[in-house]
Structure 1
Amino acid sequence: MQFPESWLREFCNPPISTDQLAELLTMAGLEVEEMQPVAPPFSGIVVAEILEAVQHPNADKLRVCKVDAGAASPGGPLQIVCGAPNARVGIRVPLAMVGAELPPGEDGKPFKIGVGKLRGVDSFGMLCSARELKLSEDHGGLLELPAGTPLGISIRDALKLDDTLFTLKLTPNLAHNLSVLGIAREVSALTGAPLNMPVFTPVKPTHDDNVPVRIEATDLCGRWAGRVVHGVDPKATTPAWIVDRLARCGQRSVSPLVDISNYVMFELGRPSHIFDHAKIHDELVIRWAKPGETLKLLNGNTVELDEKVGVVADSAGPESLAGIMGGDASAVSDDTTSVYVEAAFWWPAAVAGRSRRFNFSTDAGHRFERGVDAETIPAHVERITQLILDICGGRAGPLNDVVAKLPERKPVTLRVARAAKVIGMPVTQEECAGVMKRLGLACTEGEGTITVTPPSWRFDLQIEEDLIEEVIRVLGFGRLPDTPPVAPVTARVRLESSRSTHAVRRAVAALDYQETINFSFVEARWEHELAGNPDPIKVLNPIAAPLAVMRSGLVGSLVQILRNNLARKAPRVRIFEIGRVFSRDASVASTLTSVAGVSQPLRVGGLAWGPVDQLQWGEAERNVDFFDVKGDVEQLLAPRAVRFVAAEHPAMHPGRCAAAIVDGQAIGHVGEFHPRWRQAYELPTAPIVFELDLAAVQARDVPQAQALPRQQAARRDLALVVKEDVRHDVLMAALRDDATGLVRSATLFDVYRPKADAADFAAGERSLAVRLELLSDDATLTDEIIDAAVAAAIARATAACGARLRA
């Protein structure tokens, strides 16, 4: 909400400075997000009138003007050389006198005006455009002032440029402050300064024409008021004071009728709409739209409607989107001579979220979905009507006020003792009642209680805590004492068998990965291709069209980060993310931390691309491969034992992908990016990616004390011949599965693939060199015991994998 301070002070003018006013509003919950002057500093610029404008003798695009600056130029008219195309006799414009300082330029220094000579003609000053004064970007000519502007006065006084623009960042419960009057009401309550409430005298009807209105959907519209005004002039000029105030509220001038509607919205918080009366067919019906209906809006978009969207329709079909935007078919134009002015109460729940369905938002919808006063509709229509008559002329008809269903204002009771407990300082019943009266809230007092009936403009007062908030807001947060917490603070001790998310983050970062943070909503293509998810959870109101679904995996986000880095010529990329993923799961129930039917686990994912290490002299450069990232995953999970089993993943190479197995459970995958997607996503080489369940990564084994072995371990190397399709993990499991417990480890240290004509090898066989470590806690191993254990291990490998000793 943006507004000028001067407009606010017309309604309520407390004896405090601008900075104090900003502090007051912020501490009352109306955060002042920005303050900026209406105009930059400049001086010596006054109002002048052009008395004469003749062609420059030596330049086609220059004119020699005689200007009257009134009392600012006691020596009479000044000669000014000007090149503006609109420099003509009779207009009043800003004049920078000799010695004046224009606003600072890009170097931060003001530009000082002196006596100049342009093509041989002296110029005693400069006539200014709005851009030269940095009032706007308009540089089409001189800034023309109203004809009645007094000559010789400072342009700052003439245009009220010594003003400040406030920008408030309002929370959704403060919708009653979405107008200058609403903010003035707050300032009056906070400071005790009187509030100048506007009074609107009803317009006397001069004809009997009206538009029949029927409210079919009372859950959409509770009240509607409107009237017909004949004989308006849509080409009239909007008064400068309205144009200026709209501009200072961030709204550009469009046409007098639109400007009047916008002005009253900023002034009173009342969105309204003005129809071209001649374009309304028969009656107006307020109803829910019918499936398949379409409506071309004022912004030029044609939207398809359904039964969840409210419309104002006539016999020809929908004419406007209820509470959001008018339709193009009934819009006023330069040919309009008769208008229908309406204001209505739309139920907030019937408007909320509707404009976002069509990917736009409006000031009207922003207000209606938070709640707009239903009681002041007739008075505000009178205000709009009077402005139309004053600016555009015309003859007003009778006001048609249709009341269907108004919001029920249920009383809310405040317990003074509870207010003191929640606020954290003593408050009296007298103070609480005083706050309610200052806010204009009707209340009755009981023994230790105050019962408030919320007024029509306060939709946020529904429970006791809402009233408690009002008490401390008005009394002032500065009154709160510096009281230490009473409740004991007990640290929650994390179990030793679990490490924190931050510890996991540090562990991955220690492996030379950099953390990234990505949106949880992604492109549908990523889900279909990289997650194998044909039915992802869709986002109802995406912040951008591509980001339309919730992710069920992290790989897509990481690949996109890689592409961004490659576009910037990054030579080496190692990134990770810890984030939540989303998938459908009917077994999930709705709780405080979950949504029914949606699984939301946390995952940790990583991606490595490019050289395995930074460029250096001590080691030859090579690209990262599957085994490098597999080692990173092992180190991340250490000291827990992890097995890797060949598996498939939609985003990974079908022959270079493995599932990570811990305690018999698959906790994720690691593998090379799929060649098809490497080409589709335009990657020069395939990255290596991994994605693991965060809960499994956080779990860790508690160290157990173990005595040092009294005996020395024995080691035996075996060369086992197996088929090419024998998996490493199956062979190792068979060798380690020793019932006697003597085989403590089995480690593969060499692989030999013979030539085609090698003896002792059949086609498709290879030799695996394995080192066995044997140890007994109780006795020294003899050769007989060792040979028996090795023979038993070979037998197990033969039974499980068809292995045999190499000759």
Structure 2
Amino acid sequence: MQFPESWLREFCDPRLSTKEIADTLTMGGLEVEDLRPVAPPFDKVVVGEIKECVQHPNADRLRVCQVDVGQGALLNIVCGAPNARVGIKVPTALVGAVLPPDEEGKPFEIKLGKLRGVESQGMLCSARELKLSEDHAGLLELDASTPIGRNVRDVLRLDDHVFTLKLTPNLAHALSVYGVARELSALTGAPLKEPKFEPVQPKHDAKLKVKISAPDLCGRFSGRVVRNVNTKAKTPQWMVDRLARCGQRSVTALVDISNYVMFEFGRPSHIFDLDKIHGALDVRWGKPGEQLKLLNGTTITVDDKVGVIADDREVESLAGIMGGDATAVSDDTKNVYVEAAFWWPEAVQGRSRRYNFSTDAGHRFERGVDPSLTVEHIEHITRLIIDICGGEAGPMDDQAPKLPERKPVQMRVARAAKVIGMPITEAQCMDAFARLKLPAKSSGGVITVTPPPYRFDMTIEEDLIEEVTRIVGYNNLPTTPPLAPITARVRPESQRSRFAVRRHLAALGYFETINFSFVEESWEKELAGNPNPVQLLNPIASQMSVMRSSLVGSLLQVLRFNLDRKAERVRVFEIGRVFLRDTSVATTDTTVHGIHQPMRVAGLAWGNADDAQWGRRATPVDFYDAKGDVEALLAPRKAEFKPAQHPAMHPGRCAGVWLDGRQVGTVGELHPRWRQQWEFAQAPVVFELELDAVTKRDVPAFEPVPRFQPAQRDIAVIVKDGVTHDAVLAAINAAPTDGLLRDAFLFDVYKPKQAVAGMAADEKSFALRLTLASNDATLTDEQIEACVQAIVREVASRTGARLRG
């Protein structure tokens, strides 16, 4: 909501400075988001009238003007503006005037000088030179009735400020200058100037027949015919200026009048070209397939969930949102129909977003507009039309089939004191409601308030408590320490924080990304294998229509974004929530399936395994790099990696990550199909894990420093190609070694290209190092040999391995 201070003070003028008014509104719940002057400072700029204008003798594009600025003698001013002509009144900067700074921030001082040999005693100004607008097409022409010699700042009321309010949805009653003034009056106690709407006497009896077929769409519809209007009439400058300071440019006189009343009293209205209406108007719900070309040039298709105003032939307007092009007023319009209605907020809410646009009218109607003043506001609009455009008004037509019922709301004074946190009396509450002009009655510590028709936000006791608090003043509330003890939540040692996970991944070289939780539907079907993702009822964009069940698609999009900007090496991760259908999750609506929303952590690596460096040749990142990062992230817990299938990953280069006998994630290389579709030069490797599994960690247990030196033995076993490393290690760890085996790891794999002595073509050799130790004594050769033989026998029994000769 944007408006000028001068307009606000016409309704309520407290003895406060501009800054104090802004602070008062903010502390009263109407946050002033921005406060700026309407024009930068400048001086010695007055109204001048061009009395003579001749061609410059030495320049084709310059003219020499004789300008009267009320000093008796005419000023000789050289001007290059194309609209400089005799008789117009323009801002004239006198010698010594200081104009607003230029683009480099330097003030521009007007001096006596010569242009192409002709003396210039000042400067005729455009709106851009005074920093009033960006218009630099010519001089700023002032109204012909403006007195010569007056200060331009006074004439254009430039010593004014523009307020911009950031209003919450419950403050619809403040979406007008008068509404803000009403709040300011209540907050300061300054008198409020109540508007008077004098009825316009009808000059003819013409009426337009209107039928309200949908009372659940339109609760009240008022209108009147105005004949013989001059639509080419010029909008008065005072109205143009006020609209501009509300952020609305001038269009035509009729459109400006409608917008003016909307900003003034919060009443959206519409003016039809009466002669373009076919028959009568019908206020109804739309019919599937009906089309309407709107004033913004867009053609939309309506259905039975959208309200319309239609005539006997076609739809003419989108109810409460925007008029149609077919009945729009133009320069040829002679007769108009002025309409003001009350549209039920529920009937307007969300309709604009269906068609990807919004309007000031829809913004107000979906929050609630006063239904009691439609006739009075039409009288006001009619008066402005007649004063500016002429015309003859007809009788008022007012239909109110269904008005909102204003149910009384009760507030307990004791409850209000408890919520506010300070003692408050019944008299203070009644005074607050009186200042807000809310009808209230008190009885036995309970106050009953009947909300006025312009307050749609008062439905429960807390709404009334909020109003009392605003009037009492948030800055007057006492500072009270909390009564309950504050106890720090100590995280158990067996669990690390999400922040710690982020730091760990950052230490591994990954950069965090944050992405939307709603993604393209094709990602879910192709990358997550989810044929039935959770659909969004009202997506912000067509490519964000479903909730993600995997983080992989989001990371691929980030990779694509970086590669498009010539990134050579990308490592990114995300910690976020996914959304899975789960009927076991309880919901309040039994017709809706439950949604399980676990947290996941996912990472992606692309490019070289290391940054460019001199020590070794660059190698592309591969599955084992990502697997190593996953192991480091889960450490000290040790995960198992088993072959797995994932729709986004290469079928032969994908592994499931298992902890405590349960799969907690997947790591692998992107599937060639998706690599080709996303146009990646090489395959990225990705991993995705359950966050709960990552944050869980084993509590370190104390072990004394070993007193006896361990022993190490290397063995090489020959196994079939199908035998995995995990299977061999599992057999080693299962061997009966009486607790002497401390570690076993693979340090070499040998696979001959063809059969050799002692090895068939379908066999390979694993070289493993065994670490043996005892806490009680140094191991003897016999103990070591017995452990090694037990391990060899167990490996042979489980995997069919044999020692390599």
Match of 1:628 in 2: 625
Which secondary structure state, in structure 2, belongs to the residue aligned with residue 401 of structure 1?
Answer: strand
- Distance in structure 2 (CA, Å) of the matches to 1:239 and 1:727: 88
Does structure 1 residue 200 correspond to structure 2 residue 217?
A: no
In structure 2, what is the equivalent of residue 763 of structure 1?
Answer: 761
**Higher mean Cα deviation, 251-260 or 595-604?**
595-604
1:224–1:345 Cα contact (<8 Å) kept = yes
- 2:157 alignment counterpart: 160
Taking the aligned partners of 2:155 and 2:262, their CA distance within structure 1 comes to 26
Q: After TM superposition, list the pairs within 5 Å mapping 1:15-94 onto structure 2.
A: 15-70=15-70, 73-74=71-72, 76-94=73-91
- 2:381 maps to 1:384: yes
Q: TM-score, normalised by structure 2?
A: 0.95
8 A contact 2:752–2:761 mirrored in 1:
no
> Per-residue deviation at 1:610?
2.9
Whether 1:345 aligns to 2:349 is no
Distance 2:154 2:175 in 1: 28
Question: Counterpart of 1:419 in 2: which secondary structure?
Answer: helix
Query: Residue 61 of structure 2 aligns to which amino acid in structure 1?
Result: K
| Residue in structure 2 matched with residue 693 of structure 1 by the alignment | 690
Task: Give the conservation status (yes or no) of the 8 Å contact 2:56–2:64.
Answer: yes
Distance 2:257 2:47 in 1: 28
1:454 to 443, 448, 451: 451
Cα gap change, 1:238/1:747 in structure 2, threshold over 3 Å: closer, same or farther? Answer: same
> Which one of 583, 588, 599 corresponds to residue 585 of structure 2?
588
Matched position secondary structure for 1:109 = coil
Query: Per-residue deviation at 1:143?
Result: 0.6
The Cα shift of 1:710 comes to: 7.3
1:495 aligned partner, one-letter code: P
3-state SS, counterpart of residue 173 of structure 1: coil
Equivalent position of 2:333 in the other structure? 336
User: CA 1:195–1:596 in 2, change beyond 3 Å: closer, same or farther?
Assistant: farther
Residue pair 1:736, 1:744 contacting (<8 A) in 2 also: no
2:649: which partner in 1?
A: 652
**Partners of 2:755 and 2:761 within 8 A in 1:** no
| Matched letter for residue 770 of structure 1 | L
1:8-62 C-alpha deviation (Å, 9 max, x unpaired)? 0000000000000111111111111111110111111111111111222222222
Superposed, which structure 2 residues align to 1:781-800 within 5 Å? Answer: 789-800=787-798
Pair 99,780 (structure 1): closer, same or farther in 2 beyond 3 Å? closer
The match for 2:12 is 12
Letter in 2 for 1:462: T
Deviations 1:458-478 (A, max 9, x none): 111111111111111111111
Task: Judge which range, 605-614 or 705-714, deviates more.
Answer: 705-714
1:557-580: per-residue Cα shift (whole Å, max 9, x none)? 222223333333334332211111
- Cα distance in 1, alignment partners of residues 300 and 722 from structure 2: 60
Question: Is 1:533 matched with 2:530?
Answer: yes
What is the correspondence of 1:295-694 to structure 2 with a 5 Å cutoff? 295-590=292-587, 596-694=593-691
In the TM superposition, residue 613 of structure 1 has moved relative to its aligned partner by 3.1
Q: Which amino acid aligns with 1:449?
A: V
Q: CA–CA distance in 2 between the matches of 1:304 and 1:790?
A: 81
Q: Give the secondary structure class of the aligned counterpart of 2:95.
A: strand
Give the deviation of 1:789 after TM superposition: 4.9
1:699-719 deviation per Cα after TM superposition (whole angstroms, max 9, x unaligned): 222334556677765544332
Q: Alignment partner of 1:413: what SS?
A: strand
Deviation at 1:682, TM superposition (A): 3.1
**Comparing 247-256 and 768-777, the one that deviates more:** 768-777
CA displacement, residues 638-683 of structure 1 (integer Å, 9 cap, x when unaligned): 1212011122222222222211111111111112233333333233
Give 1:421 shift: 1.1
Distance 1:340 1:34 in 2: 38
Which SS does the other structure have where 2:259 is aligned?
Answer: helix
Aligned to 2:93: 96
Tell me which of 110, 125, 129 is aligned to 1:128.
125
Query: Are the structure 2 counterparts of residues 792 and 739 from structure 1 closer, same or farther at C-alpha, using a change threshold of 3 Å?
Result: closer
Partner letter of residue 756 of structure 1?
A: Q
Give the conservation status (yes or no) of the 8 Å contact 2:555–2:573. Answer: yes
Question: Are residues 9 and 741 of structure 1, via their aligned partners in 2, closer, same or farther at CA, if it must alter by over 3 Å?
Answer: farther
Q: TM-score when scaled to structure 1?
A: 0.95
List aligned pairs for 1:745-756, cutoff 5 A.
745-756=743-754
The equivalent residue for 1:2 is 2
Q: Shift in Å at residue 777 of structure 1? A: 6.7
- d(CA) in 1 for partners of 2:581 and 2:277? 48
Match runs of 1:219-368 below 5 Å: 219-368=216-365
In 2, Cα distance between equivalents of 1:482 and 1:287: 54
Work out the CA distance in 2 between the residues paired with 1:309 and 1:748: 70
Name the CA shift for 1:760/1:285 in 2 (closer, same or farther; >3 Å).
same
**In 2, Cα distance between the equivalents of 1:710 and 1:120?**
105
Q: What is the SS of the residue equivalent to 2:185?
A: helix
| More displaced 10-residue stretch of structure 1: 377-386 or 536-545 | 536-545
SS at match of 2:530: coil
Over aligned residues, Cα RMSD in angstroms? 2.2
Tell me the CA shift for residue 615 of structure 1. 3.3
Q: What is the SS of the residue equivalent to 2:44?
A: strand
**Greater Cα shift, 313-322 or 140-149:** 313-322
How far has the Cα of 1:607 moved from its partner? 1.8
Deviations 1:266-318 (A, max 9, x none): 00001111111122222222222122222211111111222221111222232
Task: Output the CA distance in 1 between the equivalents of 2:68 and 2:136.
Answer: 23
Shift of the 292–583 alpha-carbon distance from structure 1 to 2, 3 Å rule, reads farther
- Structure 1 counterpart of 2:14, one-letter code: P
> 2-side partners of 1:765 and 1:347: how far apart?
80
In the alignment, the residues of structure 2 paired with residue 117 and residue 264 of structure 1 have an alpha-carbon distance, to the nearest angstrom, of: 49
Please give the alpha-carbon distance, in whole angstroms, between the structure 2 residues aligned to 1:121 and 1:13. Answer: 50
- Which whole-Å CA distance do the structure 1 matches of 2:679 and 2:732 have between them? 44
Code of the residue aligned with 2:768 in structure 1: it is V
Q: What CA distance in whole angstroms lies between the structure 2 residues aligned with 1:589 and 1:295?
A: 44
Aligned position for 2:718: 721
The answer to whether the 8 Å contact 2:715/2:769 transfers is yes
Q: Compute the displacement of 1:497 (Å).
A: 2.5
For 2:292, give the aligned amino acid: L
Deviation (angstroms), 1:413 = 1.2
Segment drifting more, 279-288 vs 467-476: 279-288
Report whether the alignment pairs 1:804 with 2:802: yes
Distance of 1:527 and 1:41 partners within structure 2: 58
Q: Share of identical aligned residues, percent?
A: 66
Q: Which whole-Å CA distance do the structure 1 matches of 2:255 and 2:362 have between them?
A: 16
Give 1:372 shift.
0.7
Aligned counterparts of 2:508 and 2:23: Cα–Cα separation in 1: 49
Report the Cα offset of residue 151 of structure 1: 0.6
Give the distance between the partners of 1:401 and 1:752, measured in 2 at CA.
95
Which deviates further from its counterpart, 651-660 or 463-472?
A: 651-660
Whole-Å Cα distance in 2 between the matches of residues 741 and 140 of structure 1?
A: 97
Q: Which range moved further: 303-312 or 348-357?
A: 303-312
The range that moved more, 361-370 or 788-797, is: 788-797
| Whole-Å separation in 2 of the counterparts to 1:586 and 1:279 | 56
**Aligned equivalents of 1:381 and 1:671: distance in 2?**
69
Separation of aligned partners in 1, 2:351 and 2:99: 47
Counterpart Cα distance in 2 of 1:537 and 1:284: 42
Which structure 2 residues correspond to residues 132-151 of structure 1 after superposition, within 5 A?
132-151=129-148
